[in-house]
């Protein structure tokens, strides 16, 4: 009986990929917030926090656009 030596072949694992989020996605999110607010999707008590997030997103997108120009 022969003894077989088993060699473990390392299995290449794909590196975990981060979320696929880009500037086009953020611009689309800005548009979604605009449409949702126009359609009355947010309660009055939510408007302040929605507005703050929208303003931060808008400022970010504008600053990136200036850097790319």
Residue-wise pLDDT tens digits, 15-49? 677 788 999 999 999 999 999 999 999 999 999 99
Q: Give the ranges where the chain is alpha helix by DSSP (H).
A: 23-38, 47-68
Angle, vertex CA 49, rays to CA 19 and CA 66, nearest 5: 60
Kindly report the pTM of this predicted structure: 0.69
Six-digit token string for 53: 């997030």
Residue 35: the pLDDT is: 97
């Amino acid at each position: 009986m022969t003894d077989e030596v088993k060699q473990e072949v390392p299995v290449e694992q794909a590196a975990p990929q981060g979320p696929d989020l880009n500037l086009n996605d953020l611009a689309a999110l800005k548009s979604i917030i605009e449409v949702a607010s126009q359609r009355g999707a947010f309660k009055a008590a939510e408007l302040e926090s929605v507005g703050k997030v929208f303003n931060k997103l808008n400022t970010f997108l504008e600053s990136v656009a200036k850097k790319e120009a």
